[in-house]
Amino acid sequence: MKEVNVAILGMGTVGGGIYQLIEQEGRNIEEKEGIRLKVKKTLALDYSVDVPEEKKARDISEIIEDPEIQIVAEVMGGIKPAKDFEMMALRAGKTVVSANKDMISQNWPDLEAAAKEGGVGHYFEAAVGGAIPILRAVQDSMQANTITEVYGIVNGTTNYILTMMDERGLDFDEALREAQELGYAEANPTSDIDGLDARYKLSILASLCFNARVPVDKIPCEGISKLARMDIEIGKELGYVVKLLAIGKRDEDGAIEARVAPTMIPKDHALANIKGSFNAVFIEGSAVGEMMWYGKGAGDLPTASALVSDMIYSVKAGEPRYASFDNRYDAQGVRFNDNGLTEYYIRLMVKDEPGVLSQIAGVFGDNHVSIRSVLQKPAEKGGLAPLIIVTHEAHEKDLQKAVAEMSSVEAVHGELHCIRVEQ
């Protein structure tokens, strides 16, 4: 039996989950893997579970300087001091497992350099999709594929809110309040609802899928707070469900397009049926075709499951695993496509008068945007009617130009509501 001493940094929900899971499943892991995981030290200000006093470290040096500790799990979150602690542990030759998607996605090259310096691995399965073993699947089970597309529902908070808006007809604010009351959304929900959490996750996931560094700042990001219930309802009539998708695509020339945005998808697509706070990742690979993974993207034991799996993986892997692409900040040779082709749903509020439709169609036509279908709803109280245009695939820049020009059409009032459509 191989004994492996572990330290946990941060003993909130996830840290407590790791502690509990090792207690609960320790015997099982010993039998299956021949590894005895022992939590030797923890470091935290607050503890979500009871931990004996002798396992509570006074400071980080007590962990870094302990030669018996082989693995450090960092689940404190945030950038400071989490980055410093991970770097110290890696340089000291300790494997680091982490769920810290924002810190890792923005500091991956530094962390990897520190891991190489220490001759150890840095693993972060829990950072994307929580319990879903998607990074391992991409790295260890799909090597014989060129991955061309990845679509993820990787934020449970927003998926819960969108599910409530869709199924119960709630407004965004009502659904957010309910998500907060139930503990799905945090008191400050910005990172989730603005799509930032999903963007960090996509940066990591797309980099591994496409074997090229996809930095966070190359990913345009739009959240869900401006989504109107009306668009979700009209989308439904048209056969679509709105999801906050983290999307990565690689075209035949190798150019990468990545974005996080509310997106309409056909209601019979597998991702349309991912409800509540669940996560899912859908991948198109050259050999496997379409694949999908589904599961809990957050929570104590689900997230801990991925972290403990990384611990075991690190012990069993002969060599530490590093990115097989150029993972420097100034990685050369990666091309990004900022003018991708997508279909669009556009809602305009218009005066219901003769000639209006032809003016609007003219603006789209002048900008090479082809219309697939048009739907007009009855005029509302102010006399304005919702006019819905669904386009064929259009280049992003053409669409943006058409949208900008639409403000000069006198019959169009207020903002356009524009949602991407993926078939």
Assigned token pair, 276: 């509540």
- Tell me whether residue 298 or residue 418 sits nearer to ligand HSE (CB atom): 298
Which candidate, 310, 301, 295, places its Cα nearest to that of 48?
301
Torsion angle defined by CA atoms of residues 17, 198, 249 and 238, in that order, rounded to the nearest 10 degrees: 110
Residue from the set 9, 18, 72, 298 that interacts with ligand HSE by CB under 6 A: 298
Interaction of residue 222 with ligand HSE, rule CB under 6 A: no
3-state secondary structure of 144: coil
Residue count at the site for ligand HSE (CB under 6 A)?
7
Residue from the set 192, 284, 310, 398 that interacts with ligand HSE by CB under 6 A: 192
Site string for ligand HSE, 137-176 (x = CB under 6 A): ------------------xxx-------------------
Residue from the set 15, 16, 215, 297 that interacts with ligand HSE by CB under 6 A: 297
Residue from the set 74, 197, 257, 422 that interacts with ligand HSE by CB under 6 A: 197
Residues ≥6 apart with Cβ < 8 Å to 201: 101, 105, 127, 128, 129, 152, 154, 155, 246
Residue showing tokens 């990685």: 331
- Tell me whether residue 201 or residue 347 sits nearer to ligand HSE (CB atom): 201
User: Least distance in Å: CB of 74 to ligand HSE?
Assistant: 14
User: Least distance in Å: CB of 51 to ligand HSE?
Assistant: 23
**Amino acid (one-letter) located at 121:** G
- Tell me whether residue 156 or residue 223 sits nearer to ligand HSE (CB atom): 156
Interaction of residue 231 with ligand HSE, rule CB under 6 A: no
> How buried is residue 291: exposed, middle or buried, by Cβ count under 10 Å (0-12/13-18/19+)?
middle
- Tell me whether residue 285 or residue 302 sits nearer to ligand HSE (CB atom): 302
Which residue in the list 201, 243, 267, 296 is annotated as catalytic? 201
3-state secondary structure of 47: strand
Q: Active-site residue 94, yes or no?
A: no
Show the CA angle centred on residue 8, arms to residues 6 and 9, nearest 5°: 145
Assigned token pair, 79: 């950038």
The answer to whether 229 touches 169, Cβ cutoff 8 Å, is yes
Binding site for ligand HSE (CB under 6 A): 155-157, 192, 197, 297-298
Catalytically annotated residues: 201
